Amino acid sequence: MGLKNFVVMVVVLCGAHGCDSGGGSGPDVVGEGRFTLEAWADNWFALYVGDREVAEDSVSISTERSFNAERVAFDADYPLVLNLIIKDYKADDSGLEYIGTDRQQMGDAGFIMQITDSDTGEVVAVSSSAMKCQVIHKAPLNKDCEKSADPATECLSEISDEPADWKSADHDVSGWESASEYTAAQVGTKDGYDEIAWNAAAKLIWTSDLESDNTVLCKLTVAAP
Ligand SMILES: [Ca+2]
Ligand SMILES: [Ca+2]
């Protein structure tokens, strides 16, 4: 075996079993800091602390089957004002994917996260129904359009901008819906989800509609322990 093939083999073995000294499985930690986010999204997420983005899904939402777990370390101060943008993939504003193929469908969503404080080793924030969420891209409104030959006309959508200052600590979320919790079977968890040891309190969440709610904003504030 040539040196090049040997190097390739070692990389493959490490990828499958984890060569890092941490001994854990799953993705390597990106960045450094007191807090470590672990997250899995169908299909994409970004996490902000206040206005500052601290983590973003490393796989583009336009990648087919963009399912992957992420571990990202970051520094922040309590109270943690956590702001999430989470997105289900859609080919266009009809809300459908694989348009024009025999797989044309609405596509469904799901998201789970937990944040560990390395000062205590405790999980201090999780996704759950304690999160408040608001939909800013909803399509299709007419789910009967799923197999339509003209989804752009028939599906209908409700699309809005992010509310001004929604990331601020005192943004009024009294009108937002509480996140809905789902089972792994309901979400159809896949690639990467099983690589993380999820805390029992960390739940798969979305809004009340896994299919038509495509872009969702969620907020959670975590007080100092
Ligand atoms: Ca999806
Ligand atoms: Ca969808």
**Cβ(126)–Cβ(146) below 8 Å:** no
The CA–CA distances, whole Å, from 129 to 106, 181, 205, 223 equal: 24, 6, 7, 17
Mean pLDDT, residues 47-59 taken together: 96
Residue ranges per structural domain of the chain: 1-27, 31-222
Q: Tell me which ligand sits closest to the C-alpha of residue 141.
A: 2
Give the pair of three-digit tokens for residue 94: 């009809």
Q: What is the pLDDT of residues 16-30, one digit of tens each?
A: 444 443 445 889 999
Quick one: which ligand is closest to 105's CA?
Answer: 2
CB 206 within 8 A of CB 87: no
- Residue by residue, what is the 3-state secondary structure of 10-53? HHHHHHHHCCCCCCCCCCCEECCCCEEEEEEEECEEEEEECCEE
Fold adopted by 31-222:
Jelly Rolls (2.60.120)
Query: How far does the centroid of ligand 1 lie from the alpha carbon of residue 72, in Å?
Result: 22
pTM: predicted TM-score of the whole model, two decimal places: 0.88
Question: Which ligand is nearest to the Cα of residue 61, counting in written order?
Answer: 1
Distance from the CA of 45 to the center of ligand 2, in angstroms? Answer: 14
pLDDT digits (tens, 9 = 90+) for 79-127: 999 999 999 999 999 999 999 999 999 999 999 999 999 999 999 999 9
184-224 pLDDT tens trace: 999 999 999 999 999 999 999 999 999 999 999 999 999 99
Which ligand does the CA of 143 lie closest to? 2
CA of 123 from ligand 1 middle (Å) equals 27
